[in-house]
Homo-oligomer: A and B are copies of this chain.
Amino acid sequence: MAVQDVKGSIVPGSSVPGFLSKLWLLVDDADNDELIGWSHNGNSFIVQDQTRFAKEILPNYFKHNNMASFIRQLNMYGFRKKANLEHGTLKAEKDDIEFQHPNFKRGKIGQLELIKRKVSAREESKLRIDNVNRILNDVQDMKGKQDNISGTLEGIQRENQVLWREVVHLRQRHEKQQKIVNRLIQFLITMVKPVGLKRKP
């Protein structure tokens, strides 16, 4: 029973997720060295026999014995698989696998709390939906404003037509009036002016 009171016991004051605590114990425990342990430089860890590891070790620490689930968690916490450098090694019969994380290193137990679980798929998807909804809302808004502005424009264009008509009408009236005034003045002049009067040179 290596698991019982593991949670939080490694880095007491901090909140390191159960998976990371257990993973550290798993890798660091010399008892497991046959199946899982640190790489030579301590910057990664290596599982020697995936099948045996999954069936014999995993269920002691987690609620399953599936390598796939273990790998899913590793990826969830940002671990990356290291490329197998030796592909020409005795054909096929290599069943090992190596993972690393910049903050998962031998001796650097304090860095465990720097390893963050990626934002859950659910939240991410919600975020994405939110973003799309935001865009759709924006477009809706723009459409509304466009309709508004189009309405205003039409109103103003109508008003403009009316104004133009009134301007033309007023100008015509003004012209007519001007003619009347001119004629009246002309008439007055002929009334006042004695016939045959000459201008001074």
Contacts and interface: CB of A to CB of B under 8 A. Distances in A.
Chain A at the B interface: SS class: helix
Given A177-B181, A188-B188, A156 B149 contact: no
A48 to B, nearest CB: 15
Contact of A146 (B145, B152, B164, B178): B145
A171 B169 CA distance: 11
Interface string A177-189: 1101100110110
Contacts of A174: 170, 173-174, 177
A146 B167 CA distance: 30
A166 B167 CA distance: 7
A157 B139 CA distance: 26
Interface of A: 51, 55, 59, 65, 68, 92, 135, 138-139, 142-143, 145-146, 149-150, 152-153, 156-157, 159-160, 163-164, 166-167, 170-171, 173-174, 177-178, 180-181, 184-185, 187-188, 191
22 contacts: A59-B92, A65-B92, A68-B68, A135-B135, A135-B139, A138-B139, A142-B143, A153-B156, A156-B156, A156-B157, A156-B160, A159-B160, A163-B163, A163-B164, A163-B167, A166-B167, A170-B170, A170-B174, A173-B174, A181-B184, A184-B184, A184-B188
> Which 3 A/B pairs are nearest by Cβ-Cβ distance?
A170-B170, A163-B163, A51-B51
